[in-house]
DNA sequence: GTCTATATAATGATAGAC
DNA sequence: GTCTATCATTATATAGAC
């Protein structure tokens, strides 16, 4: 066997960047081959079930990152809740390249017949949501209010990414996150 | 010449529904043919430049609807501002089928090399934004605050649609819109 | 494990009959 | 204006050499 020219992690990261910029159908094998530097047949060697396998591997990889870099620190770090929330915002800002890159939750949930992948994406969302709700309750919100604010935050993340892609206005994501940071912890008003 | 079996309006509406559910790449000619009931060659007769032409026609069609059903009533109706805002929310709720259908601004702005279409989508967003800002100022906001709240609302629309698609939770869009309605007109807090 | 070469199916697009 | 038939290209996928 010839030696592996690209390790699993780098490989999946390359696939990920293409999938999130072009979506599932837009990420053709020719492009996947190009961005990874591996010929198509080599991709099939690493992912026997083909493109669907690659997308699934990407989702699992991102899922792990979400848990390690976002959810875990959000729940378990010793920092104050507000600080943990701010850390999360900083993390996702980097992850989305200041709002210039798409979220895989959006682009891979488009279209049809990707049941397994959709289930994974749904779970990621719910886990992230649960972590935010936990933090909300920690700062005194009741379940209902914590859920409402957490959902609002995640809606804002996805929406800001869409609008920034649409307008090419680099401030959209940044401004939204600053806004939502304040709103999440704000006092209720009538 | 044989008679036209589907009028322009119905035709574009059918194309639109497919494009918004599958995205540009996901809307293949085979599917476009299927949903319109026209053979591929007939589609080419109606849209000589092919698929790109169809997408452009769809965007122009939706653009007109946005102006007629959303923007115009938002700016010019004799109703009170709050009532006009509520009417807009009702209109888009119907348009997105209670949040169960995608926004073309999201799904068609994915991917590459659709300059003309992206420009049209960008313009639609900006026109809608301008109308909301105008309304905000009408109820006493300064330019900065009106823009901020208007952007927040449109971010919420796009975000809620993404999250509802992701979770299949039919309440997401509805709840978001109720939330944002209140937030748009709320008193500023610290 | 990666490659070249190839198979097979689908895609976007045309030609020409009616 | 729509259709059947066909084209060229690209897509996903496989076989087999090294």
Nearest to A166 among B109, B166, B172 (CB): B109
B50 is near strand D: CB distance < 7 Å: no
Query: Model's pTM, two decimal places?
Result: 0.98
Q: Please list, in sequence order, all residues whose beta carbon lies within 8 angstroms of the beta carbon of residue A47, skipping any fewer than 6 positions away.
A: A53, A54, A57
- Residue A64 to residue A77: CA distance in whole angstroms: 17
Please name the residue that has the structure tokens 């210039």.
Answer: A100
Residue A73 · residue A90 · CB < 8 Å = no
Q: What phi, psi does B97 have (nearest 5°)?
A: 50, 60
Closest residue to D1 by CA to C1' distance? B2
- In order, the DSSP letters of B130-187 are HHHHHHHHHTT--HHHHHHHHHHHHHHHHHHHHHHHHH--THHHHHHHHHHHHHHHSP
- Residue A131 to residue A121: CA distance in whole angstroms: 16
B100 touches chain A (CB under 8 A): no
- pLDDT tens digits, one per residue of B106-157: 999 998 868 999 999 999 999 999 999 999 999 999 999 999 999 999 999 9
Which pLDDT tens digits describe chain A residue by residue (190 residues)?
Answer: 679 999 999 999 999 999 999 999 999 999 999 999 999 999 999 999 999 999 999 999 999 999 999 999 999 989 999 999 999 999 999 999 999 999 999 999 998 868 999 999 999 999 999 999 999 999 999 999 999 999 999 999 999 999 999 999 999 999 999 999 999 999 875 4
User: In terms of CATH, what superfamily is A8-185?
Assistant: Tetracycline Repressor, domain 2 (1.10.357.10)
């Amino acid at each position: 066997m010839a030696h592996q020219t690209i390790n699993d992690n780098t490989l999946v990261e390359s696939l990920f960047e293409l999938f999130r910029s072009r979506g599932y159908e837009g990420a053709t094998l020719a492009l996947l081959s190009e961005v990874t530097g591996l010929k198509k047949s080599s991709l099939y060697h690493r992912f026997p079930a083909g493109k669907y396998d690659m997308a699934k591997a990407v989702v699992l990889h991102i899922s792990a990152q979400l848990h390690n870099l976002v959810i875990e620190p959000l729940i378990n770090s010793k920092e104050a809740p507000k600080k943990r929330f701010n850390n999360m915002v900083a993390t996702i800002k980097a992850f989305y390249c200041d709002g210039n890159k798409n979220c895989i939750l959006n682009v891979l949930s488009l279209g049809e017949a990707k049941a397994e992948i959709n289930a994974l994406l749904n779970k990621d969302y719910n886990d992230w949501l649960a972590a935010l709700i936990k933090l909300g309750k920690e700062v005194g919100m009741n379940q209902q209010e914590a859920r409402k604010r957490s959902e609002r935050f995640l809606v804002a993340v996805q929406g800001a990414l869409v609008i920034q892609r649409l307008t090419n206005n680099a401030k959209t994501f940044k401004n939204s996150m600053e806004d939502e940071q304040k709103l999440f912890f704000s006092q209720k008003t009538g």
